[in-house]
Amino acid sequence: MKLTIHIMLLTLCTAQVVNGQVDPVATNILDKFSQKALSAPAVTMEFELNIVDEVEKSSTSSDGKLVIKDNMYKLELPDNIIWFDGSAVWTLAPEVEEVTINEPDTTNTSFISSPDQLFKLYRNGYKQRLLEETGRGSVIDLYPDEIDADFIRIRLLINGSYDLLEAEYKSKDGYIVFVKINNYDLRSRYDNAFFLFDRNKYPNVDIIDMR
């Protein structure tokens, strides 16, 4: 599962459908979560990622880190490092010493070309439901309006300070992607260079430009 982990994680962040219905209480929590994240200089998330294949009865676990600043991000996973500088996506596969460069579709408002969608995706295309309040925070389910969507549900756990603690994506084809946030930091600042692939740090990699 070389690329599967980051593909599934980004899928969790990119699901886009239309004509959502809302639960006012859930929406209020999500609005405050969104406002807090979008007003920060950057959002840093260190997480544990677990992908369960219910069909094959198998699972894959790994650690990762995601940093988002404006329309830029850097995602670090064991098999891949991805930089998006606002115009191009650089994907490094260290094991094979290869970098691919892609230009995202500018008409696409998903996470790939608009990282802040991670904090706004709930606004369109979902039925929202506050499932329960626990000692850790609010459990909110998002259900797609579109019956052809490839996922069943996105579940979020947001604490009383409106920080994201957990996210779960359940697909129709038997995959469950579970993300546990170990560190949710809204204080750190990053130069724009942090989101650029530095050729000098990886002098021996082959670069495949798909733009």
> Per-domain residue ranges for the chain?
4-209
pLDDT for the residue 21: 54
pLDDT for the residue 112: 54
Q: What global pTM score does this model have? A: 0.83
The residue-averaged pLDDT of 185-209 equals 94
Query: 83, 90 in Cβ contact below 8 A?
Result: yes
pLDDT for the residue 2: 42
Which residues are 177's β-sheet partners?
51, 169
Q: At which residue do the structure tokens 């593909």 appear? A: 7
pLDDT for the residue 4: 45
pLDDT tier at 111 (50, 70, 90 boundaries)?
Answer: low
Instruction: List own/partner pairs for 193-197 with CB under 8 A and 24 or more apart.
Output: 194/67, 194/69, 194/74, 195/67, 195/69, 195/72, 195/73, 195/74, 195/83, 195/84, 195/85, 195/86, 196/83, 196/85, 197/83, 197/85, 197/90, 197/92, 197/99
Query: Residue 101 pLDDT > 80, yes or no?
Result: yes
Strand order across the 81-84 sheet: 126-133, 138-144, 151-158, 164-171, 175-185, 43-53, 58-69, 72-76, 81-84, 89-93, 98-102, 206-209
- Residues 63-92 pLDDT 10s: 999 999 988 999 998 889 999 998 899 999
Query: Residue 6 pLDDT > 70, yes or no?
Result: no
Please name which of 145, 144, 196, 187 lies closest in space to residue 43, comparing C-alpha atoms: 187
Query: Residue 113 pLDDT > 50, yes or no?
Result: yes
- Residues 158-185 pLDDT 10s: 999 999 999 998 888 888 989 999 999 9
Query: Residue 19 pLDDT > 60, yes or no?
Result: no
Query: 46, 57 in Cβ contact below 8 A?
Result: no
* Distance of alpha carbon 87 from alpha carbon 55, whole angstroms: 38
Q: Which CATH class is domain 4-209?
A: mainly beta
* Distance of alpha carbon 133 from alpha carbon 138, whole angstroms: 5
DSSP codes, 144-160: ES-TT-SEEEEEEEE-T
pLDDT for the residue 18: 37
pLDDT for the residue 166: 95
